[in-house]
């Protein structure tokens, strides 16, 4: 069962005590990830981390599904969530970030395009750090 899972994100939360290693997985076929699948993946992953001695401090391993509020990463994600509200985090080139929100139109090799109040906003793909699904805003 764990062989059908694909790792989509790994986050190291070093500010927590103990540190948390969060691993997001999804089914290779796009289906839902069950708790049993996460548990089946967690055991071998934990053993591999321990035997590799990658982390010197105590840590907690969390394996879960990214769910709907997570980052879009694959071409399939960008196609599946076309028209959904997203927040795009942009690297401003000076060590800072900007966040732009709108409805996802598409992503190609050069740009991520959003619909912002009926206008197309073109964002340079090279400056895009993250694209995350967000809840729709209430009101105009």
Give the residue extent of every domain in the chain. Answer: 2-64, 75-133
- Domain 75-133 fold is SH3 type barrels. (2.30.30)
Confidence of residue 1 (pLDDT cuts 50, 70, 90): very low
Q: State percent of the chain over pLDDT 70.
A: 90
What are residue 5's DSSP bridge partners? 27
Closest listed residue to residue 100, CA positions, set 83, 118, 112: 112
* Per-residue pLDDT tens digits for 44-66: 999 999 999 988 889 999 888 76
pTM given for the model: 0.53
Q: Which residues of 14-38 are buried (b: 16+ CB within 10 A; e: fewer)?
A: eeeeeeebebbbbeeeeeebeeebb
């Amino acid at each position: 069962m764990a062989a059908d899972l694909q790792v989509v994100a790994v986050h190291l939360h070093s500010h927590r005590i103990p540190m948390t290693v969060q691993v997001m997985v999804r089914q290779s076929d796009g289906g839902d990830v069950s708790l049993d699948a996460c548990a089946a993946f967690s055991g071998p992953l934990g053993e591999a981390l321990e035997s590799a001695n990658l982390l010197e401090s105590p840590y907690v391993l969390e394996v879960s599904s990214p769910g709907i509020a997570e980052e879009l990463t694959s071409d399939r994600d960008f196609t599946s969530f076309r028209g959904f509200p997203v927040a795009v985090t942009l690297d401003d080139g000076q060590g800072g970030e900007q966040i732009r929100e709108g409805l996802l139109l598409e992503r190609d090799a050069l740009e991520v395009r959003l619909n912002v109040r009926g206008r197309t906003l073109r964002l340079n793909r090279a400056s895009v750090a993250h694209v995350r699904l967000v809840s729709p805003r209430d009101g105009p």
